[in-house]
Amino acid sequence: MLGRIFTVGGYTLLSRLTGFARDIMLAAILGAGPVADAFFVALRLPNHFRAIFAEGAFNAAWVPAYAHVHGEKGEAAARLFADRIFTLLLASQLVLLIAAWLFMPQAMSILAPGFSEDAEQRKLAIELTRITFPYLLLITLVTLYGGMLNVMQRFASAAAASIFLNVAMMMTLAVAVWFPTAGHAAAWGVLISGFMQYFLLAGDLARHGGLPRFAPLKLDEDVRGFFKALGPATLGSMGTQVALFADTIIATFLPAGALSALYYADRLNQLPIGVIGIAIGTVLLPEMSRRITANDHDGAMRAQRRAFDFTLLFSVPFVAAFITVPDDIMRALFARGAFSQADAVAAGNTLAAYAIGLIPFVLIRSAVATFYARKDTATPVRASLTGIAVNVALKVALMGSLAQIGLALATAIGVWTNLLLVLFFAVRRGFLVFDRAWLMSLGKFLLTGIILAAALWLIARFSGSWLGSMHFRDEATLALLAVGGTIVYALAVLILFGRRWLVSLVRG
């Protein structure tokens, strides 16, 4: 399992690094003005639907169902099951795409009502979203193929696919002068990347298992079981995405640049979520599904506990850095071209608010895996809906005084509510046990985070006098923070946890 985690995490890290290169280009070319806000709305809409219906609900229901059919009934039954789900999925996505194209002005009035006061910005947002929306159909098929490959213990191509989004956008941004606006260039890059990702996954699956084909629709036991799990999973996946929808809607009423600040802060926040949380959760779900199908419930629980430990080990440094030195990070990465120092400060403050909820963000996918692996997608919905209620209520309460920072803070509190309820339900049903040893580990993780945060604060505070007025002062400060923070954190982990704990964690 560890090898597969590093495979997924490694490709996801490469995706995030190329994503930062893409965002540096976006910041320099688009800045944080009206065109940038219009593009980010066009990017967010298909991404929200993707996260709900593709990587969220569909993946949560599809991987355990396909693993169960494959393990219990054999490859032929699994292939027929995949053919039927593929046929239904493609048909539903085509209907959604046509509806989105036809009713985009009405959808924009609901999802970005603040743009109604600026006719040009609204028109641009509609035009860009019509370009990006077909990306959803392509990425949904990518998710179907990726889930099948994951059950076959093949993780590399699905993990690497998102790299194409960054590469394609950088290519189109590099020739932005050939497009009506830089927003158009970025939007076409999104669509082109969807085709690139599709052909990568389709090629891998064709070589190792065969692509799903059209099949007569029949609601047999397996298909009914899939849809029985898909409905609650959709509601559960909507939790975070509805909160982000609310961010988009509310931010359109805030001053220009608020949406951009949310975007750049969220992009950094997504680094550990993708590289750590999603990577580990992606590997953990088929692993737990396989063990539970084999009636190895103790093994499934041990796998989940190891996933929790790995997640905390790698995510604590990000929490410490994002809360302690967010402005330094934003200035070093994005403060150039059209992206000003003031924009960096606004995005940094927003990042610090998001980081308060980073631990539950990275843990939630592994936490719900114990329910999804048992084909129980209903229980996490209860936690998710409670979390979103808290989230949206706080957004309304905090947006006036804290602007986009309040939106990010509400998201953090909402996801904490979600995680704590999921853990409560898991413990109550005997799927998870918090023994004394693991509670001690949680305390040690907290202490290592505090030590690291103090070290980062000291390095950032004194770097000004060390570096003087050198030309690349912000970049040099970030390098010092990275090197110094790595050394301090490694020493803190070795002292507090010991070499034996690390060896046992790796060896299982």
Confidence of residue 50 (pLDDT cuts 50, 70, 90): low
Q: Are residues 154 and 191 in the same domain?
A: yes
Mean pLDDT for the chain?
A: 84
- Residue partners of 351: CB distance under 8 A and separation at least 6: 264, 265, 268, 269, 322, 326, 329, 330, 408
The share of the chain scoring above pLDDT 90, in percent, equals 27
Burial label, 175 (beta-carbon count in 10 A; 0-12, 13-18, 19+) = exposed
Take residue 437 and report the two structure tokens written for it: 């040893």
pLDDT, one tens digit per residue, over 157-189 is 888 888 999 999 999 999 988 998 889 999 999
Closest CA to 381 of 118, 61, 85, 123: 61
Is 84 part of any domain? yes
Q: Are residues 152 and 288 in the same domain?
A: no
Most confident of 18-32, 125-139, 215-229: 125-139
Structural domain ending residue among the three candidates 373, 400, 433: 433
In this prediction, residue 473 carries a pLDDT of 79
Q: Are residues 322 and 207 in the same domain?
A: no
Closest CA to 371 of 457, 284, 452, 444: 284
Q: Are residues 219 and 259 in the same domain?
A: no
Confidence of residue 454 (pLDDT cuts 50, 70, 90): very high
Q: Please determine, for residue 53, whether its predicted confidence score (pLDDT) is greater than 60.
A: no
In this prediction, residue 243 carries a pLDDT of 65
Q: Are residues 419 and 318 in the same domain?
A: yes
Is there a contact between 385 and 241 (Cβ–Cβ < 8 Å)?
no
Containing structural domain, residue 108: 1-240
In this prediction, residue 76 carries a pLDDT of 84
Q: Are residues 187 and 325 in the same domain?
A: no
How many structural domains is the chain composed of?
2
Q: Are residues 40 and 157 in the same domain?
A: yes
- What is the full DSSP assignment across 328-380? HHHHHHH-STT--HHHHHHHHHHHHHHHTTHHHHHHHHHHHHHHHTTT--SHH
Most confident of 28-37, 157-166, 271-280, 498-507: 157-166
pLDDT, one tens digit per residue, over 341-358 is 888 888 899 999 999 999
Take residue 432 and report the two structure tokens written for it: 């998870």
pTM of the model: 0.72
Is 115 part of any domain? yes
Structural domain ending residue among the three candidates 240, 273, 305: 240
Q: Residue 167 and residue 147: Cα distance in Å, rounded?
A: 23
Q: Please determine, for residue 32, whether its predicted confidence score (pLDDT) is greater than 70.
A: no
Which secondary structure element, helix H or strand E, spans residue 230, and what is its range? Answer: helix 221-251
Q: Residue 162 and residue 474: Cα distance in Å, rounded?
A: 29
Q: Are residues 414 and 294 in the same domain?
A: yes
Please give the radius of gyration of the chain, using alpha carbons only, rounded to the nearest integer. 22
Take residue 262 and report the two structure tokens written for it: 């949310």
Q: Are residues 222 and 357 in the same domain?
A: no
Is 476 part of any domain? no
Q: Please determine, for residue 422, whether its predicted confidence score (pLDDT) is greater than 60.
A: yes
Is 196 part of any domain? yes
pLDDT, one tens digit per residue, over 98-119 is 998 898 888 888 777 777 677 7
In this prediction, residue 227 carries a pLDDT of 81
Q: Are residues 299 and 189 in the same domain?
A: no
In this prediction, residue 492 carries a pLDDT of 94
Structural domain ending residue among the three candidates 218, 240, 262: 240
